[in-house]
Chain A
Amino acid sequence: MTEFTQAAPVPPTRAEYCVIACAEAWRDAGEILASPMGLIPSVGARLARLTFAPDLLLTDGEATLVRPDGTTEGWLPYRQHLALVTGGRRHVMMGASQIDRYGNQNISCIGDWERPKRQLLGVRGAPVNTLNHPTSYWIPRQSRRVFVEKVDMVCGVGYDHAAAHPETARHHRIPRVVTDLGVFDFATPDHSMRLASLHPGVTPAQVREATSFELAVPDDVPRTRPPTADELRLIREVIDPENTRAREVGA
């Protein structure tokens, strides 16, 4: 009998858990445009497209709709993109410089808007996104500076502001917020933020430490699911062989 040893598979990294947590945002999304912003959401969207959400549309980040192998399958310049947003067949995952307990998001500026301490990007498409289709968020480094009690400028509309405009905000929905520590949703009676799952190795105390507001934490918080062997192979060999994901979230 010959004996041989097989190299033990490298266990999933924190970044790979984040990829899975982002990919899950598009599960059962159907034939809509997935708009990931940031490295890890991009890997996640492509993973979802290659596995459990095969009908997703993806862009090359500019004006072209592309299949995962790079084949062009459509044209989506900004003007048509903005019409698609209003049509609602899209789920975007945006970044956030600040996010609060009701999911209000800020990418415009820090401090007083009239004369900001730090000027950032501007509202971009956050207002139109959040009023028209599902909007999730990706935060590579959760901290009290990002998870704030109140954002300085409401760009992406949160549940409390949406509730004040029930007719206009009838398409408003924030399915999830993914960070380097865990996954969050708004499945509470008042739509305040709740810890939905923890990435392996993270404690609820760590999450509270990195959050400025009162967070809903269930007694028994689930763990973020691990990637399957096939998903790991797709992430490591097909989608992101250069391991760019490690630049956004370290070990």
Chain B
Amino acid sequence: MSDKTTTADEVVSRLRSGMTLGIGGWGSRRKPMALVRALLRSDVTDLTIVSYGGPDVGMLAAAGRVRKLVTAFVTLDSIPLEPHYRAAREQGAFELMEIDEAMFMWGLHAAANRLPFLPVRAGIGSDVMRVNPALRTVTSPYDDGETFVAMPALRLDAALVHVNRADRLGNGQYLGPDPYFDDLFCAAAETAYVSCERIVDTAELTKEAAPQTLLIKRHTVTGVVEAPNGAHFTSCAPDYGRDEAFQKAYASTPWAEFAARFLGGDEQAYQTAVGERS
């Protein structure tokens, strides 16, 4: 069995400009921020980002790395509107595929199941159809004759997710209240990279937690990165909550200033700067 442990910078070195990247988590919750920060240190750009958007989208948009975004929303949760995403959208900085939360989920399901689409009763009658003229509908072949959106598969070149624990083989575990859709992101992707708070022995994973916490299966995973505090400043329950003070500073500081202060060095420098701040 292969040891898949690697580093955030090695992960990013395997990504290419122009790729379609899925980013796990939800809003400002359990986002793979250490991997996003590594991406910001690289020159990978021109990305199509598929994400239930939070500060991952805000940062990549602020840094000009996004060519196209696929999302249902972008929010910081406790701060409803993501300022950097807003600014980028208002400048027309990238293309947007704006879809409903459920359409997004079924798009990942379709990709994970190698289906071209799945029918969804969401989007019909809304302007999601107007702003996405490429979306098609499909009519039930049965007696009901109902028409649905044929949500196309959201196939990903790579997925980036962050969980609480993982082993060296890529078995990933969440310990908080919600798995979000991280397993689906991994299954929908050609390659998937899992960062975690702590790498532990396989036997350790189920010593104190039930097997159903084993969200991500190793056959869907390419690389495992140990990244303590790697979801900062988003939440990573039960290891830590959202760093609200830091998020507020992120949202209220001009991007160039924030980037210079926190993103100029490596991950260690980031974590040190965060520590000095509090």
Contacts and interface: CB of A to CB of B under 8 A. Distances in A.
Interface stretch (A4-12, A77-85, A178-186, A231-239): A77-85
B128 A123 contact: yes
A143 interface: no
B89 A127 contact: no
Contact of A125 (B26, B81, B100, B178): B100
Contact residues on B (Cβ < 8 Å of other chain), bracket: 35 or more
> Per DSSP, are chain A's interface residues mostly helix, strand or loop, or mixed?
loop
Contact of A161 (B26, B100, B126): B126
Contacts of B269: none
Contact residues on A (Cβ < 8 Å of other chain), bracket: 35 or more
A127 B178 contact: no
B145 interface: yes
A154 B103 CA distance: 16
B122 A127 contact: yes
A127 B100 CA distance: 6
Interface in B90-128: 90-92, 98-103, 105, 120-128
Given A121-B75, A122-B73, A124-B72, A153 B127 contact: yes
A153 to B, nearest CB: 5
B144 interface: yes
B204 to A, nearest CB: 24
A116 B86 CA distance: 9
A202 interface: no
B52 to A, nearest CB: 8
Contact of B103 (A75, A77, A79, A128): A128
B230 to A, nearest CB: 21
B180 interface: yes
Given A109-B89, A121-B73, A155 B125 contact: no
A85 B92 contact: no
Contacts of A154: 125-127, 130
A167 B121 contact: no
* Most interface-central of A86, A121, A123 (chain B CB within 10 A): A123
B72 A115 contact: no
Interface in A47-78: 62-64, 75, 77-78
A162 interface: yes
Given A78-B178, A124-B101, A131 B74 contact: no
Interface string B216-250: 00000000000000000000000000000000000
Given A85-B102, A127-B103, A169 B177 contact: no
A115 B92 contact: yes
26 contacts: A75-B177, A86-B102, A109-B89, A114-B92, A115-B90, A118-B90, A120-B81, A122-B72, A122-B73, A123-B99, A124-B72, A124-B73, A125-B72, A125-B100, A126-B100, A127-B102, A127-B122, A127-B125, A128-B101, A128-B120, A131-B125, A132-B122, A161-B126, A167-B144, A168-B121, A169-B124
Given A119-B81, A123-B99, A153-B127, 18 more contacts: A77-B177, A77-B179, A79-B179, A108-B127, A121-B73, A122-B75, A123-B127, A124-B73, A127-B122, A127-B123, A127-B128, A128-B103, A131-B125, A132-B121, A154-B130, A165-B147, A168-B124, A168-B148
